[in-house]
Chains A and B, each alone.
Chain A
Amino acid sequence: MNFRDLVVISTGNLRRMKLRTLLTSAGVLIAIAAFVSMLSFGAGSQQNIEQQFNKLGLFTTMHVYPKDGSKNSDSSSSPRLDKEAIERISSIPGVNLVYPYDAFSVNVSLGDTIVQSKAQALSSVAFQTKIFSTLLAGSSFTSDTSREAIISDELLKKAHIDTPKTAIGKSVVISVKVSTIDSGLTHIFVDKGESLFDRAKRIDIDSLFKKAYRSRILRSEANEVARRFVNGFMNAQEVISDTLTICGVRESRRMGRTRIEPVIIPFETAQRFKTGGLGGSPMEIMAAITSGTLFSEQDRLEGQNFSQVTLDFDPKVPYTRIKDTVEGMGYRTFSFAAEFEEVQKVFLYFDMALGLIGLIALSTASLGIVNTMVMSINERRREIGILKSLGAYETDIRALFLVESGAIGFLGTTAGIAFGWIITRVASAIAKHFMEKEGIPAVDLFAMPLWLIGIAVTVGVGVSVVAGLYPAARAARVDPVAALRNE
């Protein structure tokens, strides 16, 4: 008996027992629908992440940090992440381009609106990467020295501009307040109309010979000098401003560890905002104090260390090669490709857990198949006896019942996949509705790739065939003499 005969005979038998076949298949249908829906969720989530990574080119993006995590690392313990380091990293084979993350606080004046924000100096080469190349409107900088800016749509909304296109060509005033050492020193001598000389006049010179008086005066005057310096340094800040033209608008979105600020300014253009002194940020002042460059402006500018450098590499080059080379130079790295490998592992466990739940449902359905097949064998003992008397071998009988259980499984699996697909579409539509309602970009939470359909068919039919093994073996063992005598 060949496979075609087996299929014809088996399907004929199943057609004869329509209700029983349909009810048994319904068990498989529900189990497979649950299995497919759950795995579809896992596949959908993974697909979304992969699409986002691909869209942004994150698989070829790597961040480099100083090893000790400090922006102002000591060269003796860990190499500096400065311009020189960028050049060295750029020369690694396979590295396409390298750009630093260089951010500072700014005031943005757009139309009638003034908002405090963060700006980022960025080399125009960075626009060759997918992270920066996708703009909602306009284009990237014409050069690193152009007086242009790219701003985020969120910032535009704060300025009551809802259509990105309309912002292109508009002027934006970027200003920074910088503190200078000069103003701090000046305030030591004159503060709030009172000069240092006026204060000195109030000191009783004769009493200075008394130890207690001397100590008190020295302490209070030293404190006063320090207060005057800090007041002068913090309050009398110089404002540096420039008017730039908006050349592009980008979507504000989180990109994991890739920090992108609301205002992006060409790298060289941005330097003038940083030449007047220290920015108003207390962190920046603290950094300058700890690095010993508070009073040495030139050192601060020339030896600028970056907290992060991003590199884009050739997709044909394995990320591990670049990673090993950069780490060999004494830096820490973060690679999205490595991160995605970890994510994939998590998804594998997630899928396995979901699949296991589906398999539990399927094992319950398989008991239905066993029951149906055993009933069928009991009813068809005489038929089995006849077939054996006609020359059927045990494997023919076994195959006949295995094909029947497999056919029940195939029927249930096919319908289950279709039903599972409907469930995922409905669930996806509901999820999208709520995402849109919450203002979250709507994504499809479910995916039904071909491999998932393949797995569902394999598992559904496989479990059904396995469920048919015991009944089939029982059918094969039927004694033809006893079966024919029953009649």
Chain B
Amino acid sequence: MVFKVDNLSLHMSGFNILRGVNVTIDAAQITAIVGPNGAGKSSFIKVLSGEIPPTSGEVTLNDKILSEWNLEDRAKVLSVLPQHSSLNFPFNASEVVALGRIPHRSGQVRDGLIVKEALSLVDASYLESRFFTQMSGGEKQRVQLARVLAQIWEPDGEKNQFLVLDEPTSALDLSHQILTLKIVSDMAKRGVGIVMVIHDLNLAARCADNIIVFDKGSIIEKGSPDKVLTRELISAVFGITPHIIKHPITNKPLVFS
């Protein structure tokens, strides 16, 4: 019962965007995806979440091929936060988060409660009746995060749930970056399998159980932060020669240039 990608390839308009990608995402684990711009991270996320069908290879979610899932059943176990939000209608934050409850039949009272809790979890309770169109980038990102959290707020029977996040911290200030990582870790502790694209290697090292490094459409390296974040790999992939030390408290690798 895992989220799995087998020998995945994606060709679009004459380019090989992904080549021979194999990934297994376990429940209750955080998998961070890193890599330079244009490495295929977002395309991988799109194939993984069923938005783009792969040219070859297979995506399976809980032992069932992704495209064979009933969409509503799938929405109860797989929640996806895209990189950009194109919402330009004046919903307020509560209404946006409530959209996350669409696949469920849990009733208005329960949904209302979940919406409130999710908003307070991402520190956005004060936005409750503010219009989405008038929020700052970071506020929008937190409200959207609350929406995808509300979608998998409760376990769905015995099935494993997964949360896919494409750069969830890109518009956030430092304290909200840390908050987001804490929320994600708590979700993982609850048993949810997390996949997230993230640019900050230190944030990735701090929270991830596994790091996958993408470059030019294929996976260069994967494994624990200690194993992956080496000087050789970073200079090969990102073209800079960094210094790597151990974090004095967490003992995780710290990368700086």
Say whether A associates with B.
no
